[in-house]
Amino acid sequence: MKKLSLQNRIAFNVIISTAFLIMVLCAVILITFKIHSDKLSAGTEITIEDVKYLFTILLRVCTVGCFFVFFFLFALSRRIARDSTKPIRDIINTANSITHNNLNARIPLPTRRDELYELSETINKLLDRIEYAVEREKSFTSYASHEFRTPLAVLKGTMEVLLRKPRSDEEYKEKIKACAREVDKMNEMVEQLLILTRYEEGKNSLNYNYYLIEDLINDSVCTFTDAILNKKLEVTTNIQPQGTRLYTDEYSFSTILNNLISNAVKYSNDTGKIDIRASQQEDYLIVEIENTGYGIPQEELNFIFNKFYRSYASEGTKIKGFGLGLPIVKRFCDLLNINITIDSEINKQTIAKLIIPLQ
């Protein structure tokens, strides 16, 4: 059944009420006329006085009836207006109660699905987006300040050491190189944060086209050639069938592969193995990246996609990171409608699995 708009509902209620009251008034007039007309016998002669008397009675009935009709219509109109504007009052009260510390308040939805229902629902969705944005900014500010604090402290400490007394050229070079490494780390973090910002821009920035999956994988592997050679890793790829074309955004999908392969290289033990597999199953392309190495505890797998989260298992190692790689992967997977799962066993292997719908 088509919903009745607020304007039509008010008009409909007023018309029905008015018609009902007019019918009641007419019925009262007819009953009054019938009562007094019965007093006149069939053979009685009707004089002008009788007509005036009957007219006077009807006029009084109409006057009193009209007064009650208008009074009832006024009361009914106020009731309809009060009920109709209650959602507006709720919107005003809720809006007044919202502060930067109280963004979880929402407007109660009216029972009728009219314009006010749509307005309340739209404002609630707007509040959801605002709350998400504010919480994201708070989280970003908190985590970013925490992560920047360490390299900045290292830079300050190194420079203070250099200023205490004269040093040899070799000592200056060593300290300057340490400062440069910390700056590189901060640059890496900024780059990753900019990638997350690109994700927040949404689908408007996506540029879809067809790409060979083996080309995308090989390009990502080549990016980490030096790190692979330094750790003497054995990397194998198995793509079935060859020539599989993927309709995707190259930048976003390459970002996913680069981060997953980077983690596989980073957390593999020396002389370890990385196996990259791609196979087509019905309407999906399955890409798996498996590496031997440190692994992730099962109890931490639910948190690895949170920004700035790093596994406790990696804290005792010399592997440095910011906890942004997997959050970037997760957000770009959501953007491309890719399902990602990660399974891991401590000190054995980790498998990242991408389930990609094919066009």
pLDDT in tens, 283-301: 889 999 998 887 777 777 7
Percent of the chain clearing pLDDT 70 (strictly above): 74
Cα distance between residue 193 and residue 191, in whole Å: 5
Predicted local confidence at residue 1, as pLDDT: 41
What average pLDDT does the segment 207-229 reach? 87
- Which pLDDT band, with edges at 50, 70 and 90, does 96 fall under? confident
pLDDT for 201 beyond 50: yes
Cβ-based neighbours of 199, under 8 Å, separated by 6 or more: 328, 331, 332, 335
pLDDT for 103 beyond 60: yes
pLDDT for 62 beyond 80: no
* Partners of 281 in beta bridges: 284
171-184 pLDDT, tens digit per residue, is 888 888 888 877 87
Predicted local confidence at residue 40, as pLDDT: 55
3-58 pLDDT, tens digit per residue, is 555 556 666 666 777 777 677 767 776 676 666 666 555 555 656 676 666 667 76
Handedness of CA 156, 157, 162, 163 (dihedral sign): positive
Q: Are strands 234-240 and 245-249 parallel, antiparallel or unpaired?
A: unpaired
Please, what is the average pLDDT of the chain? 76
In 3D space, the residue among 179, 184, 251, 257 whose CA is nearest the CA of residue 224 turns out to be 257
Question: Mapping DSSP to helix (H, G, I), strand (E, B) and coil, where does residue 282 land?
Answer: coil
299-323 pLDDT, tens digit per residue, is 777 777 776 666 555 554 555 555 6
pLDDT for 202 beyond 60: no
What average pLDDT does the segment 189-218 reach? 73
